[in-house]
Every structure is written in structure tokens, then in C-alpha cells.
Amino acid sequence: MTDPVRATPDDSTLVRIRGLTTVLNGKTIFDALDLDIPRGKVTAIMGPSGTGKTTLLKHITGQMRADAGEIRVNGQNVANLSRDELYKLREGIGYLFQNSALLTDFDVFENVAFPLRQHTKLPEVLIRNLVLLKLQAVGLRGAARLMPNELSGGMARRVALARAIVFDPMLILYDEPFVGLDPVALNQVLKLIRTLNQTLGITSVLVAHELEAIKQVADHVFLIANGKVVAQGDPKTIANDGSPWTRQFFGGEADGPVPFQYPAGNLAQALGFTGAAK
Amino acid sequence: MNVRAPHSNNVVVQSLTQIGLCGLFLLTLLASVPRSFRYACETLRQLWFVGAMSLAIIMVCGLFIGMVLMLQLYNVLSIFGSTSASGMVVALAVYRELGPVVTALLFAGRAGTSITAEIGLMRATDQIDAMEMMAVDPIAYVATPRFLAGLIAMPLLCCVFCAMAIFGGHLVGVTWLGIDNGTFWSNMTAVVVVHTDIVNGVLFKSLVFGAVVSLIAVFQGFTTPPTSEGVAYATTRTVVASSIAILALDFVLTAFLM
């Protein structure tokens, strides 16, 4: 069996998705989606809101089962893993939640130390040093004893980032990592993602909307819409590839292949102007 | 474990589905007990929270229930000139029924609701999912310690409740109304049987009620929709379902244990 945590050097694709089909509440989220996430690179997943970017991350981590298709992480078919195998795989995955998801009973230090305490028998002094180093990396070493309810949204996100990287995982999934960050923190987080990728070879997957930030940090971008990958490529050139999808998404246009309005009936009829509806 | 109920507008179907899912959840809980032993500190923390922190309300309510029970019994029994039996009747009523039932109802209101609200909020703020993602089993880390804590705390709380109720009865009967102290205790000890009244009445019933209330509280917390309204409804459901289950089970247990 493939070791779920250690990388297989000859395989350049860490996450391979084939024919992924997901239907939620009657709405098709993914329609036979194919996508490869290269090992050791920073990959960005972009797309309109509600297009299923977070759902895709949940499929990769086995939090959600797909209706059809196959997802392989480090060679392992996620859908076929037992609970213990899935947990073993997750020990090698860091996940930054959209709303940080810090454990509210614990302070900042204990939140970051939580994965270490659960999965290792490291001496306390080593745990302390590791946690402080990760907190230093996100600029919050001084906030180690604050409780989550004493943090701003941006600070909570940085603590969650420190927790996601504390194990130096093989794969880190960032769900909207740049939301709520001030320019200084944003720059530092971008540097941190890049450094983790370059120094430790960690594969990173970013779900984000900030194209300028993505341009600085990502090696490859996938644009997802209508359940499929509609464009992909280098972040510096993808915005100018001329397709209607990229033109609308990166140009911020209301009209285009992706409707701005959620599917709805006639507005005049909804407002009670029955004559206008005829 | 995904234990969300499929949607149905039929109340009977909904209720049966909930009971079925709750049963499956219980099996998952029991299966995770060995894994939860490594979180013994968390179980102790929860024991403090649901047990020790419930002591005040249990003691005060026990005291007043014993006092009012003695007052009522004294008034009724004085008609027949048998006020000396008041202490005995207070003890039997408290050991057999009032102790376990009222403790369980108070426990559901004090600890059950807080367990549901806490787990519900953890789910609403993705803390449960975060644990899953950190390869920490939330059933073993969150649910089972709370379930075990409820299981251990309820018989202990019930003993405290009964002691306070007897003390309250003594306070009113002997100190205030003038029943002879020796008669009060001798009648009581002559009638109360350890196996029937203490083991079956106090300990066994309260153990069952503790398991039921803790199970309902944890189940409702884990299955609550991740919204503020969902948490509110789940908390209410914990009280309603626990109360009905306690009273219904009390009848069944009494019928079998008599």
C-alpha cells in the first residue's frame, strides 16, 4: 500500500481527479470534472461564488463523497479508504477553513499545539518551540495566550494557518486564505505559502478570488464554472487568454457565460406587475 | 459519522427516523469508548462540568422537594393520626421515584441543554469538521467523554438529591413540626430496603436516565443544523425528548423492578 504521508518521488501528480460528479439538492455542482494537482507546486482554484470550490476541497479530504468519479490523493483512492486509513491520510494534509474553525475552548497556543498533542508524543519543550516558531511565522507569537474570541478575523485566520502548517504536511488546502487580511499580513502570508512550497516542497491548493495575490504565489490556476474546468494555465497569462469565461470572471463583468443572477423567474411577475409578465 | 435525517413532512416518520438514527449513534458511541480512553482528561473535565457544576441546583431542589413533601404528607397523615409515618413515606417516595426522576429532569435542563448547545455551536463554527481534518475522531474526543460523564454523574447527583430531600424532610418534620427524631429515622430504616429502593430505585434508574439524557443531548448536538436557529431548536428538543423519555422509561422500569 502507498504510504499516505510520504511522497512518491516518481509521481508528479499529488491529487488526480477523474470524472467527478456531484449533485447537491438537485443542483449539479460537478459534471465529470477532471483535474490534476501537481506535486510540489502552488495551485489555485478560482471560480464564481457557489461553483463548488470548497466542495472540491471536501472531496479531496474525504469529508464529502462524490456521486461518481474518482479522487486519488498520493495514489490512494479516497472513496475506498477505511476510517483509519482516511485519518492517516489526513495527518499529511493541512486544511485552512474559510471561517478559521479555531477550537474556542483553547487559547491560540493550544489551538496550534492541538494536532501535535494528538498525534505525537513529543516532549513539551519541543511542542512549545514548534508552536512558537509557527506563530512567529504568522506574526502572532505575542498573541499565544489570547483566546479565539479576542482575535480579529484576520488574526484568527493566521492562527488557523499556523495550525494547518504545524505538522509540515505534504499537502495544504487553503480555503479563502486572504480574506480579512490587511496588506502587511497578506504579504507575509503570501511569502509564507511560497516559502513552505520552496523550502519543504509542500503542495499547496488555494481557493481564492484575489487575482493579484494569486499571481504572486500560484504556479497554476484552474478556473471552474458550471461544474467543469473552463480555463487553466499560468496565473500571469490566464486572465488574458481571451475566452469568454476568463474575460467575464477576471474582468468582473455581469454579462457572460456565468449568470450574475441566481436562477429566478420573471422580475415583473415577482413584483406583482401581472400585465408586464404577459 | 453522518447522522442527518432524511427530510419528511410526516411527524411520525420524522420521530421514528430520529429514534433509529439515535440508536445508530448510540452504537457508534459505544464502539468509540475504547478510543476515548486516551481522552480521559476530557472525560474528567466534562464530569466536572456536568456533575460538579450541577450540584448547586440539585442540592437546592432536593432540599425544597423534601421539605414540601414532608409538609404535604404531615397534613394528610395527621387526619389519620399517623404523622410518625411521614419520614418513611418521604424516604420511599424520594428513593423510588422523585429522586431519580427529578434529578434526571434537572440534569436534562442544566447539563443536557449545555451539552447540546456546545456541540451544536462547535458544528456551526466548523470545529467538528476541523477535528476531522486534523485526524481527531470527534465522536471519541467530543461525544463519548460527555456521554460517559453524564453516565457517571447522574447516579452521584441522584444520591446527593436524595440526601438533601431526606434532610429537607427532617428539617420540616422533626425541627419544625415536632415529629420525634427517633421515630423519623427508625420508621425510615425499617421500611427502606437497600436492594429494592437504593440499588434499583436510586442507582439503576439514575444510571439509565443518565445514559438516555446524555445520549439525547449529544445526538441532538451532533445532528443540529449549523445555524443559530438550528442550535436553539436542538436545545429545546433535548429538553422535550429527555423529559418524555425519562417519564416513559420511569414507568417501564418501575413496572419491571417492582
**Per-residue H/E/C for B203-253:** HHHHHHHHHHHHHHHHHHHHHCCCCHHHHHHHHHHHHHHHHHHHHHHHHHH
Whether B58 has a pLDDT exceeding 90, the answer reads yes
pLDDT of residue A273: 85
pLDDT of residue A2: 42
Q: Name the residue in chain B with its Cα closest to that of A169.
A: B134
> Per the CB < 8 Å rule, is A101 touching B126?
yes
Whether A111 has a pLDDT exceeding 60, the answer reads yes
CB hemisphere CA count around B9 (13 angstroms): 0
**In one letter, which amino acid is A167?**
F
Residue B4: band (very low, low, confident or very high) from pLDDT cuts 50, 70, 90? low
* Whole-structure pTM value: 0.85
Residue B200: band (very low, low, confident or very high) from pLDDT cuts 50, 70, 90? confident
Whether B122 has a pLDDT exceeding 80, the answer reads yes
For residue B14, the Cα-to-chain-centroid distance in whole angstroms is: 25
Section A166-179 average pLDDT: 90
Section B73-94 average pLDDT: 91
Section B76-102 average pLDDT: 92
For the ranges A10-24, A252-266, B27-41, the one whose mean pLDDT is highest: B27-41
Q: Which of A236-240, B22-26, B73-77, B193-197 has the lowest mean pLDDT?
A: A236-240
pLDDT of residue A275: 63
Q: Chain B within 8 Å of A64 (Cβ-Cβ)? A: no
Place of cell 513539551: A124
> Per the CB < 8 Å rule, is B133 touching A93?
yes
pLDDT of residue B257: 82
Residue B251: band (very low, low, confident or very high) from pLDDT cuts 50, 70, 90? very high
Whether B169 has a pLDDT exceeding 80, the answer reads yes
Residue B104: band (very low, low, confident or very high) from pLDDT cuts 50, 70, 90? very high
> Per the CB < 8 Å rule, is A101 touching B137?
no
pLDDT of residue B6: 58
Which residues are bridge partners to A228 per DSSP? A225
Whether A139 has a pLDDT exceeding 80, the answer reads yes
Which residues are bridge partners to A174 per DSSP? A96, A206
pLDDT of residue A178: 86
- In chain B, residues with a C-beta closer than 8 Å to the C-beta of A87 are 135, 137
Which residues are bridge partners to A46 per DSSP? A223
Whether the Cβ atoms of residue B72 and residue B168 lie closer than 8 Å to each other: no
pLDDT of residue A277: 47
- A179-188: which pairs have CB atoms within 8 A and are 24 or more residues apart? A179/A98, A179/A153, A180/A152, A180/A153, A180/A154, A181/A154, A181/A157, A182/A154, A185/A139, A185/A154, A185/A158, A186/A213, A188/A138, A188/A139
Whether A278 has a pLDDT exceeding 50, the answer reads no
Taking all residues of chain A, what is their mean pLDDT, rounded to a whole number? 86
Whether A179 has a pLDDT exceeding 60, the answer reads yes
The gap between the terminal CA atoms of chain A, to the nearest Å, is 65
| Partner residue facing B130 (CB), from A83, A87, A101 | A101
Whether A10 has a pLDDT exceeding 60, the answer reads no
The residue with greater pLDDT, A244 or B38, is B38
Place of cell 508552536: A131
The gap between the terminal CA atoms of chain B, to the nearest Å, is 39
How far off is chain A from B126, nearest CA to CA, in Å? 5
Whether A5 has a pLDDT exceeding 50, the answer reads no
Place of cell 443559530: B228
Taking all residues of chain B, what is their mean pLDDT, rounded to a whole number? 92
Place of cell 459519522: B1
Q: Chain B interface, mutation test: which of A95, A163, A168, most B Cβ atoms within 10 Å?
A: A95
- In chain A, residues with a C-beta closer than 8 Å to the C-beta of B136 are 114-115, 118
Separation of alpha carbons A239 and A148, rounded Å: 38
How far off is chain B from A108, nearest CA to CA, in Å? 14
| Partner residue facing A63 (CB), from B125, B127, B129 | B129
Whether B22 has a pLDDT exceeding 90, the answer reads yes
- In chain A, residues with a C-beta closer than 8 Å to the C-beta of B133 are 61, 63, 90, 93, 95, 97
Q: Name the residue in chain A with its Cα closest to that of B39.
A: A118
